[in-house]
Chain A
Amino acid sequence: MKEKAMTTPEIRIDEADTTGVRPLLEIRDLAITFKTGSGEVQAVRNAHLTILPGETVAIVGESGSGKSTTALAAIGLLPTNGKVSAGQILLDGEDIAHASERRMIELRGNTIGMVPQDPMSNLNPVWKIGYQVRETLRANGKPSGPADVAKVLSEAGLPDAHRRANQYPHEFSGGMRQRALIAIGLSCQPRLLIADEPTSALDVTVQRQILDHLETMTSELGTSVLLITHDLGLAAERADKVVVMYRGQVVEAGPSLELLQDPQHPYTKRLVESAPSLASRRIQAAKEQGVEAADLLAPATEVQANDHILQIQDLRKVYKLRQGLGKSTDFAAVDGVSFNVKRGTTTAIVGESGSGKSTVAKMVLQLEKPTDGKILFDGVDTSLLRSADLFKFRRRVQPIFQDPYGSLDPMYNIYRTIEEPLRVHKIGNTASREKKVRELLDQVALPQSTMQRYPNELSGGQRQRIAIARALALDPEVIICDEAVSALDVLVQAQVLNLLADLQSNLGLTYLFITHDLAVVRQIADHVCVMEQGQLVETGSTDDVFDSPQQDYTKALLNAIPGARLMLPPEVA
């Protein structure tokens, strides 16, 4: 396998030759291996990319494709069990793949800067922001007085930088932390900035602002950017060139628009097809699979126009925030929210973090008590349910949660996980339960042999399918998906969304879909409720909301979808 990777020099491309400019960073035939408990694992092989001065290049790929590893190799920060086993990393003509640690320290900061992925964990919580900026300046021998620190911070778009420099990371919001990290990354004016998923933990509108700002700053400084992202739409929008990585190899590279419009490699094709920010129509294929599906939908919406399985009226949830001894202030997480969910349809609640969308889901699931307002399920006020009725209610309304790594008990094998609801509700005997589990696994397109496995052996998408199977075990009528696909790679996400659409048309399920991702909403939802700071700002059918948004907030959200501004093949427009 290794020899094969080495013997393909003819496929390397030398963009430098065509343009005549010396590339700032050139990675040639890079291979990276990791030593693990079970021998050596090749994480990256045969990778190559070229970044010209002032250019932005994006590496796109799913998790585990080797995109971050490649970037870490370029800044010499591979984990200790990883090493560059072949190839070159040329920075301005100098091979830094095997440079000494001393040389790398010289380069880091003022030649290569880095903006890490997670703004929540990449600032040291015990030091003030200003101190952390100063540390970088000082390490690179730049002037590091308070005025310099404030200048760096204000350039990164932090207002009131003098005061902000004296605050601790926990006093910053996610977006502000990311700005601080960008400030640190760019403080020494590096010639190359590596941005590893710089905004994937942020809300879309904040993401948009940050990326806009990063773009302005880097173009002013003439900095080259190596952007790492899982979002093809974002990559295409922000980068001049896109490099697609798949299972440790570069499968396609080229100018971003060309690559999107004319993908050559089957993997790129697959990515372009399923990127939610680009594919912007309801998943129709699944809905139209059976003729009866269309029949099922049409009369349901026309004849029984008032068949609302869920009616939410003036829902309010107030939390008491403790402020010292005995004092507390009220905080309305959800404030006067009303909407209806029609049987057999999908309603999406969209909002950014802190909008109260998950609290609504928890209250509908009867896991939190509303402070005020009513939730009618099938015409019955759920707040009046006694425990026996509540137990029955649980059979009819089931959740699917966001984190595929947290929603399955690691101690239970898959059989016990899916069987648990049946056992709790005392349905059938051992044999009939096993039969049901097998059926459910078929329904979510997993082999029946999965039964004996444990959650840690499954990928995120597979776990989410198990969670769906568990939710379906009791033949519920309503499924509440709380960010059910947000943690998944795009291809897997598309797969799970298709599965959900299939199940809806086959079983007549009603979905309440909580998400922050408008692109996903467009793919799955019939109706949209947009929430902002606990209040419902806009509701309507998906097409109405997307085609003619009424509220400024909705417009801002729609505009912030990465790739939304890209002009793509005609069927979109």
Chain B
Amino acid sequence: MTNKNSHFVAPIEETPLLATDTLKTDQAPLSLWADAWRKLRRRPLFIISALLILALVVVALFPGLFSSVAPNEGCELANSEGGPTAGHPFGFTFQGCDIYSRVIHGTQASLSVGVLAVLCVLIVGVTFGALAGFYGGWLDIVLARLGDIFFALPLILGALVITQLPVFRQNKSVWTVVLVIAVLAWPQMARITRGAVIEVRNADFVTAARALGVSKFSALVRHVLPNALAPVIVLATLELGVFIVAEATLSFLGIGLPEGIMSWGHDIAAAQSSIRTKPEILLYPAAALSITVLSFIMLGDAVRDALDPKSRQR
């Protein structure tokens, strides 16, 4: 060393040398889903929405636990637009039925339409989107144009037309509503899936799997799809809320669920006549609808944050 002043060496005890590239073993192994779950668990947004949804599911499955009065039982016109009384905390509708009981019993229809429609959309949209994105070429072109056709139909307008088909008019049920929503809403899911699949399809791990002798289709199912699922799940949670609104809208317009099935949409429609005299009648089913949709959208937001690849460690 020619110039002691200009050549600095840190004391070794202060900068201990570690072995090159050692494995960190201080933490438990973490899969993508475990990691997402760990992040979710600590988010208030997720806790609130999950609790709300849990409550909604319980109400939907066992409405009898919450209301001893059947929705259309004991409707007396004498009680028309009556205020809250003992045993009837929300008061009575124009027809003199118990609002509390109707709101409770309406949960089931809303949730089941939402869940079933999302499942249908997932099956159709993910299949089409994955095939189009992975194989490309003419299959992609055909499926993309097909999707565009449905995409161009506004939900309400499309539903108005479809529900006027004789088959639908004669068999009004939860399933017809589910079918109408699914037919009109699958393209969005297909688009999201297609995009996610295209993003993953050229990843090195897919090429590596192909070089191992994995067939094209197994590569899609085993490697591409699981990695493309995060945005699909986020969209599914968000759409659940949207579909519940769609069902209420269709029922409100009288083209959704048949009259026999309790639905918040029906109740909102029926409450129109009382809106000047007793706005609360409208308020309760509308509030139930809003809370439900809000909790699913909040859940979707929380899940999106948790699955965001940018927030992954390293």
Q: A474 contacts which chain B residues (CB < 8 A)?
A: 212
Q: A135 contacts which chain B residues (CB < 8 A)?
A: none
Would A406 and B204 count as touching, CB distance under 8 A?
A: yes
Q: B25 contacts which chain A residues (CB < 8 A)?
A: 447, 449
Q: B7 contacts which chain A residues (CB < 8 A)?
A: 252-255, 258-259, 264
Q: How far is the CA of A433 from the CA of B313 in the complex (A)?
A: 30
Q: A252 contacts which chain B residues (CB < 8 A)?
A: 7-10
Would A13 and B5 count as touching, CB distance under 8 A?
A: yes
Choose among A17, A251, A402, A462 the residue with the greatest number of B CB atoms under 10 Å from its CB.
A251
Would A411 and B30 count as touching, CB distance under 8 A?
A: no
Q: How far is the CB of A3 from chain B (nearest CB, A)?
A: 12
Chain B positions 2-56 with a Cβ under 8 Å from a chain A Cβ: 2-3, 5-12, 14-15, 17-18, 20-21, 23-25, 27, 29-32, 35
The answer to whether B209 has its CB under 8 Å from any CB of chain A is: yes
Which of A20-28, A393-401, A531-539, A544-552 touches B? A393-401
Q: How far is the CB of A422 from chain B (nearest CB, A)?
A: 10
Known contacts A456-B312, A492-B21; A410 and B227 CB within 8 A of each other: yes
Would B15 and A402 count as touching, CB distance under 8 A?
A: no
Q: B223 contacts which chain A residues (CB < 8 A)?
A: 409, 411
Would B17 and A267 count as touching, CB distance under 8 A?
A: yes
The answer to whether B66 has its CB under 8 Å from any CB of chain A is: no
The answer to whether A470 has its CB under 8 Å from any CB of chain B is: yes
The answer to whether B214 has its CB under 8 Å from any CB of chain A is: yes
Choose among A46, A254, A402, A425 the residue with the greatest number of B CB atoms under 10 Å from its CB.
A254
Would A409 and B205 count as touching, CB distance under 8 A?
A: yes
Q: How far is the CB of A464 from chain B (nearest CB, A)?
A: 10
Select one of A365, A447, A462 contacting B21, CB under 8 A: A462
Q: How far is the CB of A17 from chain B (nearest CB, A)?
A: 8
Select one of B211, B312, B313 contacting A398, CB under 8 A: B211
Give chain B's interface residue range (CB within 8 Å of chain A): 35 or more
Q: B149 contacts which chain A residues (CB < 8 A)?
A: none
Say what secondary structure dominates the interface of chain B. loop
Residue on B with the closest CB to A14? B5
Hey, what's the 0/1 contact readout for A485-526 against B, CB within 8 Å counting as 1?
000000110010000000000000000000000000000000
Chain A positions 426-460 with a Cβ under 8 Å from a chain B Cβ: 446-447, 449-450, 452-454, 456-459
Chain B positions 204-243 with a Cβ under 8 Å from a chain A Cβ: 204-205, 207-214, 223, 226-227
Select one of A18, A246, A250, A365 contacting B8, CB under 8 A: A250
Known contacts A450-B23, A470-B208; A406 and B30 CB within 8 A of each other: no
Choose among A46, A267, A365 the residue with the greatest number of B CB atoms under 10 Å from its CB.
A267
The answer to whether A262 has its CB under 8 Å from any CB of chain B is: yes
Chain B positions 177-210 with a Cβ under 8 Å from a chain A Cβ: 203-205, 207-210
Q: A408 contacts which chain B residues (CB < 8 A)?
A: 205
The answer to whether A266 has its CB under 8 Å from any CB of chain B is: yes
Q: How far is the CA of A15 from the CA of B24 in the complex (A)?
A: 39
Would B205 and A264 count as touching, CB distance under 8 A?
A: no
Q: A252-B8, A403-B204 are in contact. List 10 more A-B contacts (CB 8 A).
A: A13-B6, A15-B6, A266-B17, A399-B207, A407-B208, A411-B31, A413-B29, A450-B23, A457-B29, A462-B21
- 24 A-B pairs whose Cβ atoms sit less than 8 Å apart in the complex: A8-B14, A11-B11, A15-B6, A252-B7, A254-B6, A259-B7, A265-B10, A270-B17, A367-B211, A395-B213, A409-B205, A410-B227, A421-B213, A424-B213, A425-B212, A453-B29, A457-B27, A457-B313, A459-B21, A461-B20, A462-B23, A467-B208, A492-B20, A492-B21
Task: Sort A-B residue pairs by CB-CB distance and give the 10 closest, nearest first.
Answer: A254-B7, A407-B204, A394-B213, A406-B204, A264-B9, A452-B29, A401-B204, A253-B8, A409-B205, A461-B21
